[in-house]
C-alpha cells in the first residue's frame, strides 16, 4: 500500500484518488457494533449481569486483533451473559443504543445511488434485525443468542444457536457473506464497499473494492483505503462524489 495521506482533517486515504463515483459501486457492507451504532452490544448486555468489565476486556482484545480465535472469544463472552433477561436486552436497545452520526445519511445516500446494503455482525440478531428494519438494510448476517424456554424462560442460556450457514459470524463469515452477496447480485467484489472498525472486519475489507475504517483500531486504520478518524460515517461521501 502507498503511504496514507490526510485528504481532509480526520479523513485519511491511501491507494485511491478521490473523488470516486458512488454510483460505480453496487453494494456496501457494514459492521454494526461501534460502526453503525455507538455501543458494543455484548458489553452492554454484560453490564446487566454485572460482568461488563470482564467482557469488555475480551471484546477490546478481539477488536484490536490480540485474540486470534474470534469464535472462542465470543463464546467466552456469551457464556458470561447467562441469566440476562430479554427485558434487560430490551433496555440496552431502548436506553443505550444509538445510530452513530451520519449512519442514516450514508445508508440513504447509498440506496439513492442504487447500492444494495448488507449488515454483517459478530453481534446478535436481537439488535441487527432492528437496525436492519430502522435503516431499510437489504441483507444481514449475525449470531442468535439462545433463550431459555420453560423454567426461567426469557433468560439467556449463555450459548448461541447454530444456523444453516454455520455457527458464528466471525471475520471469515463476514468475508464469505460479502462475496456471496456479490455473487447474488452478479457483481465483482471490486464493486463492493466494506465498512468496519475491528480486526474481525479485515477479511471482508480485504476483498472489497473499497475498504473504510470508521473510528477504528490502529491495525484496521493502517489497512483501510479510507480511514474516518473524526466526524460521522457520512464523511465517506467526501471521497465518493
**Residue-range definition of the domain harbouring residue 200:** 5-238
pLDDT in tens, 53-79: 999 999 999 999 999 899 999 999 999
Per the residue annotation, which of 24, 33, 43, 133 is the catalytic one?
33
pLDDT for 222 equals 96
pLDDT in tens, 153-179: 899 999 999 999 999 999 999 999 999
- Give me the number of domains the chain comprises: 1
DSSP sequence for the chain: -PPPEEEETTEEE-S--SPBPGGG--EEEE-IIIIIBSS-HHHHHHHHTT-HHHHHHHHHHHHTT--S-HHHHHHHHHHTTTT-BHHHHHHIIIII--BPTTHHHHHHHHHHTT-EEEEEEEEEHHHHHHHHHHHT-SEEEEEEEEE--STTTTBEEEEEE-BTTBS---HHHHHHHHHHHHHHHT--GGGEEEEESSGGGHHHHHHSSEEEEES--HHHHHH-SEEE-SS-GGGGGGTB-
> Any catalytic annotation for residue 133?
no
Regions of the chain with pLDDT less than 50: none
Per the residue annotation, which of 15, 31, 129, 133 is the catalytic one?
31
pLDDT for 241 equals 81
pLDDT for 149 equals 83
pLDDT for 95 equals 96
pTM of the model: 0.96
CATH code for the domain of 127: 3.40.50.1000
Amino acid at each position: 500500500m502507498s503511504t496514507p495521506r490526510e485528504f481532509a482533517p480526520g479523513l485519511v486515504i491511501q491507494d485511491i484518488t478521490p473523488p470516486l463515483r458512488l454510483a460505480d459501486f453496487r453494494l456496501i457492507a457494514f459492521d454494526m457494533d461501534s460502526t453503525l451504532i455507538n455501543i458494543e452490544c455484548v458489553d452492554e448486555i454484560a453490564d446487566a449481569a454485572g460482568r461488563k468489565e470482564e467482557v469488555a476486556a475480551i471484546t477490546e482484545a478481539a477488536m484490536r486483533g490480540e485474540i486470534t480465535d474470534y469464535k472462542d472469544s465470543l463464546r467466552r463472552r456469551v457464556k458470561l451473559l447467562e441469566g440476562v433477561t430479554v427485558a434487560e436486552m430490551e433496555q440496552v436497545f431502548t436506553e443505550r443504543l444509538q445510530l452513530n452520526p451520519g449512519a442514516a445519511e450514508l445508508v440513504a445516500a447509498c440506496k439513492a445511488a442504487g447500492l444494495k446494503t448488507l449488515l454483517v455482525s459478530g453481534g446478535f440478531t436481537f439488535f441487527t434485525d432492528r437496525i436492519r428494519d430502522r435503516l431499510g438494510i437489504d441483507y444481514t448476517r449475525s449470531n442468535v443468542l439462545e433463550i431459555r424456554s420453560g423454567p426461567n424462560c426469557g433468560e439467556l442460556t449463555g450459548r448461541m444457536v447454530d444456523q444453516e450457514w454455520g455457527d458464528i459470524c466471525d471475520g471469515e463469515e463476514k468475508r464469505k457473506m460479502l462475496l456471496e452477496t456479490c455473487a447474488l447480485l452478479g457483481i465483482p467484489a471490486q464493486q463492493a464497499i466494506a465498512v468496519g472498525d475491528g480486526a474481525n472486519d479485515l477479511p471482508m475489507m480485504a476483498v472489497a473494492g473499497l475498504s473504510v475504517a470508521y473510528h477504528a483500531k490502529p491495525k484496521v486504520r493502517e489497512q483501510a483505503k479510507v480511514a474516518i478518524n473524526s466526524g460521522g460515517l457520512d464523511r465517506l461521501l467526501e471521497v465518493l462524489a
